[in-house]
Structure 1
Amino acid sequence: MSRFKEMQDLVNSLESDFEKFYEGGNKAAGTRVRNGMQAIKNLAQEIRAEITAMKNAAK
């Protein structure tokens, strides 16, 4: 479950930048959001690979 917590923390860390970009039009915040979204994508891919490996090892 630590990987789930890691994903939650990453998503939550972007909240203020989302607000700054969408509500305030802050372009630098948009860049931080895009970078954060890429990190989320990479973490999700790592978790997927980990789950697949664990699933296949259990057979």
Structure 2
Amino acid sequence: MDKFKQVQEVIASVEADVTKFYDGGNAAAGTRVRKAMQDLKVLAQEIRAEVTEKKNTAK
């Protein structure tokens, strides 16, 4: 559950940069968005592994 909270925090923290990039054309904000998306990808994979492990040990 901690990792899911981290996902929510990353999304909340990058929201302003998404607006700056798409609405303002700020290239540096785009770089920050790309990094945040990579962090989300890693967190999502870790959550998937935890869910699979928990599901398999519950049997």
In structure 2, stretches of 5+ residues that fail to align are: none
* Displacement over 3 Å in runs of 4+: none
Q: Which has the higher contact order (CA 8 A, sep 6+)?
A: 2
Matches within 5 A, 1:1-59: 1-59=1-59
In structure 1, stretches of 5+ residues that fail to align are: none
TM-score (norm 2): 0.93
The RMSD of aligned alpha carbons is: 0.8
TM-score (norm 1): 0.93
Q: Match for 1:22: what amino acid? A: Y
Q: Deviations over 1:6-59 (max 9, x none)?
A: 111111110010011011100010010001001001100000001100110111
Q: What percent of counterpart residues are identical? A: 61
